Amino acid sequence: MFKGHRVAVVIPAYNEGAFIKQVLQSLPDYVDYIIVVDDCSQDDTFAQASTCGDSRVMMLRTPSNLGLGGATLTGYRHALELGSDVIVKMDGDGQMPPEYMADLLNVLIEEGYDYAKGNRFLVGESLAAMPKHRLFGNIVLTLMAKLASGYWHIFDSENGYTAIKASALRALDFHAMHKRYFFAEDMLIQLNVHNFRVKDVPIPARYGEEESGINPFQVAVTFPFLFFKRFIWRVYQKYILRNFSPIALFLITGTLLFVWGVGFGAYLWIRSALTDHPTPTGTVMLAVVPLILGFQLLLQALVLDIQETPK
């Protein structure tokens, strides 16, 4: 136990046979349950984890490959069934140093937050060691995640080293959660809808011979659509369904005005270019005024959404 709280560590693992045993043997003594979810690995992940020699280790095996999110949720369910108070999620590739786990737990237990996550951008050496393409990708994803999730103070949204209170985890809709690599962002979005408090914790990452299973092309194609879809869902859930807010009114009205201004303005410009006749000033204003007003309303909605960040 850690300061009177039962701690479970959930480790989703897919083809981590080369690293999983060392990861398990390095976990702190205060961890009560270690739940390894072998997500249909093609290597000896299950055998390596089963022979680590730690009685706290519990092995789960998925019937088919569920993906990072699906495997993690399987471990979360088991951790809740065991009566855990706090659940830590870490990967099986050895990138997440276990000696920093206490920092995550203290944020929940001592400071009263509901969810704590690692942030490699707060640690200089991690940035220097991070491959440049992953650094750029993380920055872009984080900026989109801020808008979609509403947690504007959070960075490094893809960081999977997290800790969550069991009470917060029970409030989330597991069935609606994304089962693949968008899982980390989906967690933040659902947490925001319930107004749970989230904090970043400076934790370095260790980069070795492990290979990332994320396909950059697939992320570039699918993540923007998922962010947009989840942003609409969050606005509906938080600012319309649960408590109607001016934010929703500003977003809807601002979007309609802005789209009209851009669309009508483009039409006038094309028509003028094709006919070689200038558009009257009054007609131009029918595009300019809605565009400016719509932009101002969208900007105001953004400011109010930032102010609504759970603190």
What is the CATH code for 7-237?
3.90.550.10
What integer pLDDT is reported at residue 46 of this predicted model?
94
Domain segments of the chain as ranges: 7-237, 245-307
pLDDT band at 128 (very low <50, low <70, confident <90, very high): low
What integer pLDDT is reported at residue 263 of this predicted model?
97
What integer pLDDT is reported at residue 206 of this predicted model?
75
Edge-first strand listing for the sheet containing 57-61: 57-61, 33-38, 7-13, 86-89, 162-165, 115-119, 198-202
Tokens encoding 237: 């859930």
Euclidean distance between CA atoms 184 and 54, whole angstroms = 28
Tokens encoding 48: 């390596």
Q: Is residue 248 classed as helix, strand or coil in its secondary structure?
A: helix
Number of H helices, E strands in the chain: 11, 7
38 pLDDT more than 80: yes
Q: Is residue 230 classed as helix, strand or coil in its secondary structure?
A: helix
Strands (E), 68-224: 86-89, 115-119, 162-165, 198-202
136 pLDDT more than 90: no
**pTM above threshold 0.85:** yes
Q: Report which of residues 311 and 76 the model is more confident about.
A: 76
Element (H, E) at 234: helix 216-236
Q: Regarding beta strands 86-89 and 162-165, do their DSSP bridges make them parallel or antiparallel, or are they unpaired?
A: antiparallel
Residues 123-128 have a mean pLDDT of 65
Over residues 233-274, the pLDDT tens digits come to 999 999 999 888 999 999 999 999 999 999 999 999 999 999
User: How many Å separate Cα 197 from the centre of its chain?
Assistant: 14
What integer pLDDT is reported at residue 161 of this predicted model?
96
Distances (CA, A) of 116 to 99, 103, 175, 197: 15, 9, 22, 9
pLDDT band at 201 (very low <50, low <70, confident <90, very high): very high
212 pLDDT more than 90: no
Give the number of C-alpha atoms closer than 13 A to the C-alpha of residue 80, restricted to the C-beta side: 16
Over residues 213-230, the pLDDT tens digits come to 566 677 778 999 999 999
What integer pLDDT is reported at residue 175 of this predicted model?
95
Euclidean distance between CA atoms 193 and 107, whole angstroms = 21
What integer pLDDT is reported at residue 85 of this predicted model?
98
What integer pLDDT is reported at residue 244 of this predicted model?
87
Q: Regarding beta strands 198-202 and 115-119, do their DSSP bridges make them parallel or antiparallel, or are they unpaired?
A: parallel
